[in-house]
Amino acid sequence: MSNPALAALDARIVRTFKATGVADSATLNGAACDVMIDRNVQVFGDNGEIVGPRDVATFLRSEVAPMRGGMLVVGSDTWTLEKKTTQDESLSEWILNHV
């Protein structure tokens, strides 16, 4: 990662979100991580069409390396990672499929 200051800031933000219940402890392919889940987000397809409300996860790249098809578990909920929507030096955001 080329910007350690950004990664450290994002990690502090996620820890704060976790302390307030906005982020959760999770596993991605069996690896422990913290994740922020946004439920029922309006998602648009490649051609601008609405593909419906979906769940979206944001990961710290310093904790895990999300990949399409990965298995995310938060409590009793399980999803697979369908499509990366955005990624920067420290965060990766994915559309999820509930299993």
67-99 pLDDT tens trace? 999 999 999 999 999 999 999 888 999 999 999
Tell me the residue range of the domain where 16 lies: 4-98
2-39 pLDDT tens trace? 678 888 898 899 999 999 999 999 999 999 999 999 99
Task: Give pLDDT, residue 2.
Answer: 65
Q: For residue 99, what is the enclosing H or E element? A: none
Q: Domain of 42: which CATH number?
A: 2.40.10.210
- Nearest alpha carbon to residue 79 among 69, 90, 64, 89: 69
Task: Give pLDDT, residue 5.
Answer: 86
The count of domains in the chain is: 1
